[in-house]
Amino acid sequence: MSEASSPNGDVLVRAVGVRKSYRLGDRVVEVLRGVDLEVARGELVALTGASGSGKSTLLHLLVGLDAPNAGEIRFSGHNLAKLSSVELARFRNLKVGFVFQAYHILPELDALENVCLPARIARLDSKAAASRGRELLDRVGLGDRTDHKPYELSGGEQQRVAIARSLINNPELLLADEPTGNLDSHTGQEIIELLCALRAERQTTLIIATHDSRIASQAPRVVGLLDGQIR
């Protein structure tokens, strides 16, 4: 079994003996092979590894987007396996923010509408959500682009919209899965610096999955995955 323990005592998310495999035809592919991981509240962690090492799978398991074949995931001490699908969806909406490589912002909505979408799903007050959405867009440098559709924004600007959206519900955990993968190196560096600054301002726990050693080196703690195990 492979283990990576947080240096701090207040653990927000914990994976215990996690295994995950998928069946592809007649083959069973083991993606994670017994992983233990602790991430403290407010910590910044880089999760590294080559493509296929299990980074995205582990991120999905940590927030209940998928379920392990063995082991358990705990968030603030609560076993995610004990939650219903409705409870899991609400947990992710209120407690977790996501930033993906492909942005995943809706083309028919403008920047502000995309940012406010998780707040609308949570049925928060629309005026308060819009006010917070504008504040976040201003913070990520898009205060003058609130009514622009995704096709009117560059890749870096779309990722900034995604970052603002991820923070609209004040999540306890922020997950960034290869957030610079579709960006040039200069824009990618700006995005990483923005993510880290926002995490520090809000004391949000941040896990960045990346195969880029230059990005990983900017995190105080690096956890490496190799062949489904933590190095």
pLDDT digits (tens, 9 = 90+) for 27-83: 988 999 999 999 999 999 999 998 888 999 999 999 999 999 999 999 999 999 999
Gap between the Cα atoms of 116 and 211, Å rounded: 30
Q: Give residue 199's pLDDT.
A: 94
Q: What is the pTM of this model?
A: 0.92
Residue 207 has pLDDT above 90, yes or no: yes
The predicted model gives 119-129 an average pLDDT of 94
Residue 8 has pLDDT above 80, yes or no: no
Q: Which domains does the chain show, CATH number per domain? A: 43-65+85-223 (3.40.50.300)
The predicted model gives 109-136 an average pLDDT of 96
Q: Give residue 130's pLDDT.
A: 97
Residue type, 61: L
Residue 179 has pLDDT above 50, yes or no: yes
Q: Give residue 1's pLDDT.
A: 40
pLDDT digits (tens, 9 = 90+) for 133-173: 999 999 999 999 999 999 999 999 999 999 999 999 999 99
